[in-house]
Structure 1
Amino acid sequence: MATISIDPTEYVEVEQGTLQFPNTHQQAKFELGVCMAIYKWEELATAVENSWGGANSSEKRDWISGVIIDLFSENKAVDIQLIEETLLYAMVDEFDTEVDNDSALEIGALIMRFYKDVQLEKYDSIEELYKKWNDKKSLRVANSKVHIEEDPNNPDSSDDEEDDEEETEDIEMSNGDDMVIDKEEPKGPIVDDDGFELVQKKGRRR
């Protein structure tokens, strides 16, 4: 992450209520911006990828996004330093990791910038970051599929597919047999030419 000049005391404030946007569209855009900034934090991404927070490390990252969003939803003033401190505490508490660089400060500055952009109804930076994240996610999924398809000599996979097809055929055939049985079910008593009712045997069709 490039080094930039940041004023940790930079803040946003409202006279009444909280910093949450009354406009639901603006609030949704800001929350997306927070999530994208948190996902952009390389130190946290490394912690998640290596499961430093346990099996639910990914969920913990989403929880951290929620904590930052709550800072704005529950307070009338928030500065960059408060965001930074919240992120650092979360890393220690949830991932047992101390971050000793300015990366959390930079993420705090990015979130503050997003908030001010949303105030002006400017969403380009947030949407650009969201597009990059989506593209990266799609690429990972595509690479995963290619890796699976590149193994044509895997007999287990083809056997499974054949078994699935056989099971499907068996089901279809079974359904077909049931339909034949239903159609052959007598609709009423059978009477011979002399007017006598014939006794029908049950349970011996097969």
Structure 2
Amino acid sequence: MSQQPEAIILFARGTLALLDLWPALTIAVNEQWGGTESSAKKTWLASTLIDEFETRAPLIPTTETSTTPVVDPKSASDPPLDIDEIADLLHQIMSDEFDANLEDGSIDAVASDLVRLWKDVLGPNPLVLVEALEKKAEEVKKSGVKASVGQGGSLSESEGEDDDDDDYEDEDVDMDQAPQLVESQKPKEKEEPIVDDDGFTLVQKKGKR
């Protein structure tokens, strides 16, 4: 259990990385959906998530030889917050602070990633996993987030949801393979004007289509 005293610290680092990997939040901050303090609100969101896990995490009582509280490794199978609780918290914060009602499924994905992160930091190789997340976040920061707002305000992201339980890697979506939603219409043929014998152009009445 030598790695356990750092579980909260590693969870905090991983949480920051996961939020950096969340395209919808990145766009909300860059576009200042939460006003000029959008960046500070993102930091506050991270601290709120970390505090919720830390204050609810079961600890192993201190002893004469160990005066530092240690997170009970059993909570790996029973995290302090479940996916639904995290998703509700994220929905509320995104709505209240960023005026964003996300319906792209990303909130559930982030909630699932946070639960998986908690399990990982209590596992055998937590530092390796967290550093991998941080590396991925740095790569995304350099490449930028590509997304567009579709009908209904939903986000269409170039990076897919994270379904990998081991490395949290995103899948790239080939937008060229997306079905064409609106068929292109051929330009209407221009009708030739009708000229009478005196050289006057006749006005034609438009018929109903």
Q: If the TM-score is normalised by the length of the shorter chain, which range does it land in?
A: 0.5 to 0.7
* Structure that is richer in helix per residue: 1
Q: Does 1:51 align with 2:53?
A: no
User: What's the CA shift for 1:51?
Assistant: 0.6
How far does the alpha carbon of each residue in 1:22-50 deviate from its partner, in whole angstroms, 9 at most, with x for none?
Answer: 94422211111111111211111110110
Among 92, 97, 102, the residue aligned to 1:89: 92
Report the CA distance shift for 1:97/1:139 in structure 2 as closer, same or farther (over 3 A): closer
Distance across 2 between alignment mates of 1:58 and 1:106:
22
- Any conservation in 1 of the 2:21–2:140 contact (CA below 8 Å)? no
Partner of 2:134: 130
> Does the 8 Å contact 2:8/2:54 carry over to 1?
no
Partner of residue 81 from structure 2, selected from 78, 82, 87: 78
Q: Which residue of 2 aligns with 1:103?
A: 106
CA–CA separation in structure 2 for the residues paired with 1:137 and 1:38? 11
The answer as to whether partners of 2:83 and 2:108 remain within 8 angstroms in 1 is: yes
TM-score w.r.t. structure 2 length?
Answer: 0.52
Question: For 1:153-198, what per-residue CA distance to the aligned partner results, in whole angstroms no more than 9, with x for missing partners?
Answer: xxxxxxxxxxxxxxxxxxxxxxxxxxxxxxxxxxxxxxxxxxxxxx
Unmatched segments (≥5 aa) in structure 2:
58-79, 145-209
Report the CA distance between 1:65 and its aligned residue.
0.6
Percent identical among aligned pairs is: 29
Structure 1 residue 88, shift from structure 2 partner: 0.8
CA shift at 1:61, angstroms?
0.6
Instruction: Report what 1:29 is aligned to.
Output: 10
Looking at structure 2, the residues matched to 55 and 82 of structure 1 have their Cα atoms a distance apart, in angstroms, of: 28
**Unmatched 5+ stretches in structure 1:** 1-21, 141-206
Query: Secondary structure at the residue paired with 1:56?
Result: helix
Q: Which amino acid aligns with 1:51?
A: Q
* Aligned 8 A contact 1:26 1:121 in 2: no
> Which segments of structure 1 move beyond 3 Å, counting only runs of 4 or more?
135-140
Q: Is the 8 A contact 1:29 1:126 kept in 2?
A: yes
What is the CA distance between 1:134 and its match in structure 2? 2.7
Greater Cα radius of gyration, structure 1 or 2: 1
Amino acid at match of 2:129: S
Which residue of 2 is the match for residue 116 of structure 1? 119
Q: CA RMSD in A?
A: 2.0
Separation (CA, whole Å) in 2 of partners of 1:122 and 1:80: 23
The answer on 1:42 being equivalent to 2:42 is no
**Aligned match of 2:176:** none
Instruction: For 1:69 and 1:36, locate their aligned partners in 2 and report how far apart those are by CA, in whole Å.
Output: 12
Query: Which residue matches 1:61?
Result: 42
